[in-house]
Amino acid sequence: MSIIAVIKTGGKQYKVAEGQVIRVEKLDGEQGKEIKLETLLITGPNGEIIELGQPTLGEKVSADIIETGKGKKITVIKFKSKVRYRRKIGHRQPFTKIKINKIA
């Protein structure tokens, strides 16, 4: 088992390992560019905690941006009975797909 880190981006936390590809909230940057991610925790091969942030360890995880895009469309409908009020809108959440390169 390899080293695992918990990173924080877009208001969410993700458990990642080297070589893993994940979709996160939209990040600034172009395709192929390397980025650093805020790290909360790093664990070793047998699950023992190597470093624990108080609250973070800094930017110890590096990743490459593979692609950016928009997710599937969802439909939001607002409705109030008896007053002829109806609203229908769609939303596509932007995302960034990244590949974890190195956990320092």
Model pTM?
0.83
Q: Are 92 and 71 in contact (CB under 8 A)?
A: yes
Give the residue with greater pLDDT, 23 vs 52: 23
Residue 32 has pLDDT above 90, yes or no: yes
Residue type, 33: K
Q: Residue 1: pLDDT above 80? A: no
Residue 74's pLDDT band (cuts 50, 70, 90): very high
Say how many domains are in the chain. 1
Helix (H) and strand (E) counts for the chain?
Answer: 0, 9
8 Å CB contact between 34 and 101: yes
Instruction: Give the pLDDT mean for 29-53.
Output: 89
Which tokens belong to 50? 């190597």
Range of the domain at 93: 4-103
What pLDDT was estimated at residue 88?
98
